Structure 1
Amino acid sequence: MAAVLFDFSGTLFRVESTESWLRAVLDDSGILLSEPELERAAQALEAAGALPGGAEPRQLPGELAGAWAVRDKSARLHRAAYTGLSRRVPLPDPALHDALYERHMTPAAWSPYPDAVEVLRALRERGVAVGVVSNIGWDLRPVFRAHGLDPFVDAYVLSYEHGVQKPDPRLFSVACEALGVDPARTLMVGDNRAADGGATALGCRVHFVDHLPAHLRPDALLPVLDLVG
């Protein structure tokens, strides 16, 4: 393999829990809720699917179905879809919904999986090109920089910057072109079989990992090194 493409959320990084997400925003806003109130609100936000990178909606409202289907094609659609879901949950201040969306874009909201740095460093040492291909509505580069992973990434291909989202093979094609590699010599690593599996249409090999909390998935990326050879 000449290159490895990685998904972002659920593959290299994991977003914080819904409770941690809400608690951080409430703390920043100076709004106090009792623990039972906070827990109930967090559970409702999780059921709504309001945290990008977290659980998907248990029930998608019909009025948001259109935006949800194409949410990763633009920053506007991404924000509209997720804040629309968040607003289905009553919170003490309506401004909290936008604050929650802003919070999830900060490096503090994300943690790299335990083996991410080790795998990326090993790929760099072997001369294997690395790209990040993500369905997303915002610039994740600051997250990589803040956690020290940016030096190991040669190209970022983000859906909202191209108006194309996985599984459309065009997004993977952009990544291969940016790295100057043949798709047949490229491995795509992701957690979503439908979205990341789209790379096979281009001729890439695909390897899947489970989207689990970081502490429950300490070494799932290590097999990538064997697959690259």
Structure 2
Amino acid sequence: MTAVLFDFSGTLFRVESTEAWLRAVLAAAEAALTEPEFTKTAQALEAAGALPGGAFPQHIPAELAEVWEVRDQTPEEHRAAYTGLSRQVPLPDPGLHDALYERHMSPDAWAPYPDAAEVLGALRERGVGIGVVSNIGWDLRPVFRAHGLDQYVDTYALSYEHGIRKPDPRLFAAACADLGADPREVLMVGDDRRADGGATALGCAVHFVDHLPADRRPDGLRPVLDLIR
């Protein structure tokens, strides 16, 4: 293998819990909920799937169905989809829905998996090209910079910048082209079998990891080092 492509959320990074997300926004806004209200609200936001990178929505409201399908193709559609889900849940101030969305784009809302730096560093030492291919509606590069992982990444292929989303093979092809890599010599690493599995249409090999909280997956990326020997 001459290059490895990685998904972002659930693969290299994990977003904070819904509880931590909500608590941070309430604290910043100096807004308060009683503990029972907080628990109920966090559970409702979790069920709604309002946290990007968190739990998948248990139900997509009919009025959001169309924008949900294209949520990763533009920043505007991404924001509309997720703030729309958030607004299914009452909050003390309507402005908190936008604050929640802004919070999820903060580097503080994300943690790299424990072995991410080790694996990316080892790949770099071996001269393997590294790309990030993500379905996303905002620029994740600041997250990588804040956590010191941008130094390992050679290219980013982000859905909102190309107007296409995984599993469309064109997004993987764009990353391969940037790396100057033959797709047949590229490994795609991700947590979504449908989306990330789209790389196989180009001839890429694919390796899947489990989308778990960071502290429950300490070494899920290390098998990648064996696969590219």
TM-score (norm 2): 0.99
In structure 1, the partner of 2:51 is 51
In structure 2, the partner of 1:20 is 20
Deviation at 1:228, TM superposition (A): 0.5
Helix, strand or coil at the partner of 1:73? coil
1:146-225 mapped onto 2 (5 Å cutoff): 146-225=146-225
Once residues 148 and 35 of structure 2 are traced to their aligned partners in structure 1, the CA distance between those partners, rounded to angstroms, is: 34
Helix, strand or coil at the partner of 1:9? coil
Q: Which runs of 5+ in 1 are unaligned?
A: none
Deviation at 1:36, TM superposition (A): 1.2
In structure 2, the partner of 1:128 is 128
Query: Are residues 1:83 and 2:83 paired?
Result: yes
1:61-72 mapped onto 2 (5 Å cutoff): 61-72=61-72
Deviation at 1:35, TM superposition (A): 1.2
Once residues 218 and 35 of structure 2 are traced to their aligned partners in structure 1, the CA distance between those partners, rounded to angstroms, is: 30
Provide the aligned C-alpha RMSD in A: 0.4
Deviation at 1:105, TM superposition (A): 0.1
Deviation at 1:195, TM superposition (A): 0.2
Query: Are residues 1:104 and 2:104 paired?
Result: yes
Once residues 71 and 2 of structure 2 are traced to their aligned partners in structure 1, the CA distance between those partners, rounded to angstroms, is: 31
Once residues 63 and 191 of structure 1 are traced to their aligned partners in structure 2, the CA distance between those partners, rounded to angstroms, is: 28
Once residues 88 and 34 of structure 1 are traced to their aligned partners in structure 2, the CA distance between those partners, rounded to angstroms, is: 20
Calculate percent identity across the aligned residue pairs. 75
Once residues 66 and 228 of structure 1 are traced to their aligned partners in structure 2, the CA distance between those partners, rounded to angstroms, is: 40
Q: Which runs of 5+ in 2 are unaligned?
A: none
Helix, strand or coil at the partner of 1:224? helix
Once residues 142 and 159 of structure 1 are traced to their aligned partners in structure 2, the CA distance between those partners, rounded to angstroms, is: 16
Once residues 135 and 59 of structure 1 are traced to their aligned partners in structure 2, the CA distance between those partners, rounded to angstroms, is: 20
In structure 2, the partner of 1:119 is 119
- Residue type of the alignment partner of 1:118: E
